[in-house]
Amino acid sequence: MSVKILGTGSAIPARSVTNNDLAQVMDTSDKWIRSRTGIGSRYIAISETSNDMAAEAGKKALEDAGVQPEEIDMILVATISPDQVMPNTACEVQKRIGAHRAVCFDLNAACSGFLFALHTASAYLSSGFAKKILVIGVETLSKIMDWNDRSTCVLFGDGAGAVVVTDGGELPYEAVVGSTGVKGEVLALDGRKNNNLYVQNEEKNAYVTMDGQEVFKFAVSTVPKITKEVLEKANVSVDEVDWFVLHQANERILQSVAKRLKVSLDKFPMNLERFGNTSSASIPLLIDEMNRNNQIKEGDKLVLCGFGGGLTWGAIYLVW
């Protein structure tokens, strides 16, 4: 099982909202947000939607890969903030980019969503079912935040990232993925309740709720563990890795992981200062930036790592 990334793309809303902008409308400060998270601003969708951004990121990834829409066998979209329940976001992307042959479905694994989607893609590729797959992570988290809860709303942002992948053949690839459903309540969004005769609609949990400290502890203990596990499977040492591309949740989480792995923080690219936490979109957004800046070179060894609601987690080792 292996994947080769052929091209990348991304899309973000026009409007960037700084910490100081938020401090105008709620009881917070640039100092608090920066010191606790490393976040300085985030993009917030005004007119853009998840469908818009997913399609734009997908189109750019196809262009970068030099792949025509008709060549795509499958579109996988990871998201927890689709515009509509049905049709799924992947079908909307298919319609907009003209990938008529593709099988399309969405996948929800919160901040591990892109990681799970990429691993799912690798399974379809290795089975021979698909030759080229478009994998997208997209979120408009601003729509599912409680803007009266300063402990969550300041953390998250909107955007989309995409990759086109094909079977990597002999290229090294390993993955470790997992979930702990019993811990689900620490990062949750009940959303719309079943509004039937027996269960009336409640607004109470219509927005994201989070026990920040529990999620923090989960992240700093799980990420180093699964990184070591995936590298052990790949028979590669921590020092040999060129880039640790982690879900962009919090700079302090990344610092702690780097310290626990005894690796320089320089190997942990970050863009959360400008984007905040974009959940499923964070890893492909970062990969696209690195690709377009020529920061990643052919042959570079990467560990991608996602963690979040579910609880879910995953690490993938791959070679660029």
CB of 33 to ligand UT7, least distance (A): 6
- The sign one gets for the Cα dihedral 294, 55, 137, 30 is positive
Give catalytic status of residue 111 as yes or no.
yes
Measure the CA–CA gap between 277 and 113, rounded to whole angstroms.
Answer: 13
Binding site for ligand UT7 (CB under 6 A): 28, 32-33, 36-37, 111, 150-151, 154, 210, 212-213, 215-216, 249-250, 277, 308
Per 3-state DSSP, the chain is made up of helix, strand and coil in percentages (nearest 5) of 40, 25, 35
Task: Give the integer Cα–Cα distance in Å for 108 and 313.
Answer: 12
Q: What are the distances in angstroms from CA 29 to CA 22, 156, 289?
A: 8, 15, 28
Rounded to a whole number of angstroms, the minimum distance from the CB of residue 81 to ligand UT7 is 13
Rounded least distance, CB 113 to ligand UT7, Å: 10
Please pick, among 51, 108, 250, 277, the residue that the annotation labels catalytic. Answer: 277
Q: Which is nearer to ligand UT7, 36 or 301 (CB)?
A: 36
Catalytic residue list contains 247: yes
Looking at the Cβ atoms of 115 and 133, the one nearer to ligand UT7 is 115
Please give the residue whose beta carbon sits closest to ligand UT7 in the complex. Answer: 212
Catalytic residue among 104, 111, 153, 305: 111
Nearer to ligand UT7 (CB atom), residue 7 or residue 308: 308
Whether residue 311 has a cis bond before it, omega within 30° of 0: yes
State yes or no: is 104 an active-site residue: no
The sign of the CA dihedral 286, 288, 292, 294 is: positive
CB closer to ligand UT7 out of 32 and 320: 32
HEC secondary structure over 207-246: CCEECHHHHHHHHHHHHHHHHHHHHHHHCCCHHHCCEEEE
Q: Give the shortest CB-218-to-ligand UT7 separation in angstroms.
A: 8
Q: What is the dihedral sign for C-alpha 233, 238, 243, 244? A: positive
**Closest CB 39 distance from ligand UT7, rounded Å:** 9
Rank residues 227 and 250 by Cβ distance to ligand UT7 and give the closer one: 250
User: In whole angstroms, how close is the CB of 249 to ligand UT7 at the nearest point?
Assistant: 3
Question: Pick the catalytic residue: 247, 250, 291, 305?
Answer: 247
- Decide: residue 270, CB within 10 A, 0-12 exposed, 13-18 middle, 19+ buried: middle
Q: Which is nearer to ligand UT7, 159 or 308 (CB)?
A: 308
How far is it, in rounded angstroms, from Cα 25 to Cα 157? 17
Tell me how far apart the alpha carbons of residues 237 and 177 are, in angstroms, rounded to a whole number: 19
Catalytic site positions:
111, 247, 277
